[in-house]
């Protein structure tokens, strides 16, 4: 174990040295040291200053919302004025492109280069914020690599949430279909849906569902995780699949509407 840690540290040090040398030779800025927005950083070659971009739309401008991010956390909630609102942390290197058609498409693009940085304090201004009108029925798709996802107080026609290592937390939500998947992040769900599909490799899954056990047709599968719920039943379909994550159900005995 100790030998592995030493090797890992050596490889990391070598990688850092190569990155710094490459940028120095190419004229990259290797001295940018700042403490803006509550973060202490050492950055190479790019300014990480955040400029928030805010946009608002009428509720009937789109039939679907699509978001694709990398590492920023994402907060989705209901708007108070019946409009769609988006608030994005724009940076020089990592930037969000917005395409407005039938679908409001927000996609994160990495403009290249290598960045070496240390984040000691997480800034409050770095999350993506999306607000949707209460009672709306959009098809909503949210994808990230490592960002956490917090979705609350909205309704959707079809909702897909996917992340590799981020955690997913969904509260006070209703949808016709609900599809969530993560590799190593946890899923914490409180929602009413016409059908549920949840999948994770090593993350744990907690479901808090309206009604009682008899209202659901449950299909659970795990290789080495723990689950006290048996398959079977009739009613709303709930499919949960993990490899090593635990699965926990709770029924709170009443219907929920977002």
Q: CA–CA distance from 105 to each of 97, 102, 141, 152, 170 (Å)?
A: 8, 9, 10, 20, 21
Residue 68, SS3 per DSSP: strand
- Is 174 within a domain? yes
**Calpha distance 94→108 (Å, rounded):** 7
pLDDT score at 11: 46
- Is 208 within a domain? yes
Structural domain count of the chain: 1
- Is 139 within a domain? yes
- Is 72 within a domain? yes
**Contact status, residue 241 vs residue 225, Cβ threshold 8 Å:** no
- 93: its two tokens: 């290197």
- Is 180 within a domain? yes
Question: Residue 184 sits in which domain range?
Answer: 59-88+127-251
Query: What is the model's pTM?
Result: 0.77
pLDDT score at 47: 55
- Is 168 within a domain? yes
pLDDT score at 21: 52
User: Which runs of E-coded beta strand occur in 19-164?
Assistant: 32-34, 41-43, 51-57, 64-68, 74-79, 84-90, 94-100, 103-110, 128-133, 139-144, 149-152, 155-163
- Decide the pairing of beta strands 139-144 and 41-43: unpaired
Per-residue pLDDT of the chain (258 residues; tens, 9 = 90+): 444 434 444 545 555 555 555 445 445 444 444 444 444 444 444 557 899 999 999 999 999 999 999 999 999 999 999 999 999 999 988 899 999 999 999 999 986 654 444 443 344 458 999 999 999 999 999 999 999 999 999 999 999 999 999 999 999 999 999 999 999 999 999 999 999 999 999 999 999 999 999 999 999 999 999 998 988 899 999 999 999 999 999 998 754 444
Residues 35, 128, 153, 137: what is their CA dihedral angle, to the nearest 10 degrees? 170
Q: Which of 31, 197, 171, 29 is nearest to 113 (CA)?
A: 29
């Amino acid at each position: 174990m100790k030998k592995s840690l030493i090797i890992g540290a050596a490889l990391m040090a070598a990688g850092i040295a190569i990155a710094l040398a490459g940028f120095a030779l190419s004229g990259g800025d290797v001295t940018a040291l700042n403490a803006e927005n509550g973060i202490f950083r050492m950055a190479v070659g790019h300014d990480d200053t955040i400029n928030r971009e805010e946009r608002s739309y009428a509720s009937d401008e789109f039939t679907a919302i699509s978001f694709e991010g990398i590492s920023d956390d994402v907060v989705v909630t209901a708007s108070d004025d019946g409009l769609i609102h988006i608030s994005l942390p724009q940076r020089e290197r990592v930037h969000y492109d917005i395409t407005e058609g039938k679908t409001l498409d927000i996609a994160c693009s990495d403009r290249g280069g290598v960045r070496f940085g240390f984040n000691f304090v997480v800034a409050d201004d770095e999350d993506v914020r999306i607000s949707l009108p209460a009672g709306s029925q959009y098809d909503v798709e949210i994808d990230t690599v490592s960002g956490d996802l917090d979705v609350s107080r909205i309704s959707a026609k079809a909702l897909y949430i996917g992340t590799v290592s981020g955690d997913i937390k969904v509260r006070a939500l209703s949808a016709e279909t609900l599809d969530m998947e993560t590799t190593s992040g946890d899923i914490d769900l409180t929602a009413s849906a016409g059908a549920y599909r949840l999948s994770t490799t090593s993350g744990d899954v907690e479901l808090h569902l309206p009604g009682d056990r008899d209202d659901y047709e449950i299909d659970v599968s795990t290789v080495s995780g723990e689950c006290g719920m048996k398959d079977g039943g009739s009613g709303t379909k709930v499919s949960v699949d993990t490899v090593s994550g635990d699965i926990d159900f709770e029924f709170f005995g009443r219907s929920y509407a977002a």
